[in-house]
Structure 1
């Protein structure tokens, strides 16, 4: 009976090693880093080298018939990570690429089948490129520690020398993906990854995983109370019951209720940026809209000359990034007050001033590194000021 060697698996690549153009050096910002976790599921695919299988059989005096391949399976991964800033994160997890295999008949009469199972753990560096406030692209480069388990079965003229080879090996992986924020704490992710593998019988190859999944952000920001610099609540006067005596009609009428006094000008209102906007975002969220609606209602009937909206960030991060973020947030408040609050567009203006006008005093918050303690200490500096000036 002829003996057949088991070096039968090889996975040919379908695309070259990707250059991760999205990978960027860490970029400090004025928002809080966070932990996250997620899960993806999708289709894994490998290319089985039928020519190598036929060549191996022929070297042992056997001719292979048609070779039937199983080169697709269900793959999944579970992962967690830490995002340091808007451009960089580190991610690790567990993956299972599924099982692949083949079967064929031989002359002289016999059969041969083989299967390979691939699973392991990984650690990746992830570079992130924000495209809009909610949509971003990302690339990853990482290492895997993979367990490979093979099973070979021969009948008739085929005698398998080692039916259950296995290996553990460390290899590279790369990937590209897109991510969309469904909510402040929930993101939808789709990606394609290439895993370099060792097939346990001396060959190297690649397996691709195309998957979709959900990512949950731990400690997502929640609305914080808005700091207001004035009170303009309606005045409600209690009325005494009318006496039960006959009086002239004119005397029975209650005195008119005086209107609330007009808002004294000038007025300055300061809103916490954390209450108006989500993480690294310039879109006014629902809680912030309620506060801006209240301000617009209070200003109705007030003869003001101009409203100046000024966005502020803290001092963490680069000047260019903070200037852009503070300007976008000021313009978002400006637009909302015009479109939803009825403020005349020619009477309102917006600008961003980076972190050049802090509320905190020098020495209040020590350090320059974006630690959670420093970010919390500098929270009062992240704000939007609205100045209303004019005459009564």
Structure 2
């Protein structure tokens, strides 16, 4: 009977998982996400042996032998929503199986009882990350369950009421370990305890020791490991002619998530556009803002308009360009240039284009040589500020570059993934300062040439849903060459 039940349980779990998959929104909100899970394993019950023997004795039967089967196969299917890397909520269906006892009595007879237990649960799950891919977690919640008890008597044992059922609500708790096998699939092992009312007045506990697989929606495939990037020189490129009557430039300005700030490294590129406008005072420029597809269309349209307007405002404020020569339009997510299903594609779509009036030449668009910008990014462990040894050689190159160009300064920008604002600000500042200290201590760079700034979690390169996304946001960016 139990073998057939295991087969039926697995089939039920797979079918229900498919139905939940069709019903669950397949979206990945910023710093959150939906997921589905299925698990199964050994379930164990606490049989109220003493109470059963006492009940039989009260009915005139002395128990001479008592045997119980307290183990079976249990399974559960569930859906969850992860609010951040530490807290999620889960709800689903569970079936812990069947448990039985047989009591041999005097006068000669037997009393056989069988318990079935299953229902629905809702839990809060708290996670404690150990590494980028692994976490410990604990859960506490409530379950609404039905207990069904069947009794059979033989020989002298007479059963008056052969079946009892009761639905009740009680508490449950558990703990476990999980490991992210891929960006979408997570493996879990877990132990849970369900408090139970067995329908005949006895209370006990049922335990489930399960192995689980979780599928997360809206994440991306984990990229293959690549060597840490070497410092790279980024020089603004001149605006290129498209036709005889119009020039168009993408400017290569890409924005961080939900952000319209213009970063240091992009100000050099805007300098090229400003140089063009100063050289040709009769031309006008239309700035086009674009976004990725995460979020609502209305929000993306608004954000892309803000990004375009921020470039207009910067040209007016920093370079004195007449506002009447500039216009801005946001196109939201309607004009992608890359695949929004990947993080790289989303970042490419968070961009600015500039469409420029006709001019007879493009002379004079090369930025000043001394305004070269050199950028480098270092990633950090969770809540850590220690510099990984894999970056030591690259920092040596940065130091050599600073020694070779004594007029240059360096700004060290610290960032982190999501945590409380005060904690994020402190950690990001510590990361930036640790890089500054390393350059001073190991290479003798004058501290007055270094500025360390922490930006907390306000400037993310990618979404915080996945472990690799959070890793990319825990970084320090070194920007050289832009004057203070």
Secondary structure of the corresponding residue to residue 159 of structure 1: coil
**1:354 is aligned to 2:450:** no
Structure 2: gaps of 5 or more residues? 1-28, 224-228, 238-368, 466-472
Rate the CA distance shift 1:329–1:191 in 2: closer, same or farther, 3 A. Answer: farther
2:108 aligned partner: 109
Cα separation, 1, equivalents of 2:430 and 2:100: 54
1:319 aligned partner: 421
Cα separation, 2, equivalents of 1:186 and 1:332: 35
Task: Describe the superposition over 1:211-252 as per-residue Cα deviations: whole angstroms up to 9, x where unpaired.
Answer: 22222222125689x9x872599xxxxxxxxxxxxxxxxxxx
Cα separation, 2, equivalents of 1:82 and 1:333: 37
Cα separation, 1, equivalents of 2:58 and 2:117: 28
Rate the CA distance shift 1:321–1:180 in 2: closer, same or farther, 3 A. Answer: farther
Higher-strand-fraction structure: 1
Rate the CA distance shift 1:82–1:200 in 2: closer, same or farther, 3 A. Answer: same
Aligned residues: 297
Query: What does residue range 214-253 of structure 1 map to in structure 2 within 5 Å?
Result: 214-221=213-220, 230=234
Cα separation, 1, equivalents of 2:423 and 2:222: 23
Secondary structure of the corresponding residue to residue 326 of structure 1: helix
**1:388 is aligned to 2:392:** no
2:139 aligned partner: 140
Cα separation, 1, equivalents of 2:151 and 2:122: 31
Does the CA contact (< 8 Å) of 1:309 and 1:350 recur in 2? yes
Does the CA contact (< 8 Å) of 2:89 and 2:125 recur in 1? yes
Shift of 1:174: 1.3
Task: Describe the superposition over 1:101-128 as per-residue Cα deviations: whole angstroms up to 9, x where unpaired.
Answer: 1112221121111110111110011222
Shift of 1:304: 5.7
Higher-helix-fraction structure: 2
Q: Could you say which structure has the greater relative contact order, defined with CA pairs below 8 angstroms and 6 or more residues apart?
A: 1
Secondary structure of the corresponding residue to residue 455 of structure 2: coil
Does the CA contact (< 8 Å) of 1:270 and 1:383 recur in 2? no
Please point out which of 298, 310, 319 is paired with 2:413.
310
**1:267 is aligned to 2:373:** yes
Cα separation, 2, equivalents of 1:389 and 1:149: 75
TM-score, structure 2 normalization? 0.50
Cα separation, 2, equivalents of 1:332 and 1:212: 42
After superposing the two structures, state which structure 1 stretch, 115-124 or 43-52, moved more. 43-52
RMSD: 4.7
Task: Describe the superposition over 1:166-210 as per-residue Cα deviations: whole angstroms up to 9, x where unpaired.
Answer: 111111111122223333333222222110111111222111112
Secondary structure of the corresponding residue to residue 55 of structure 2: helix
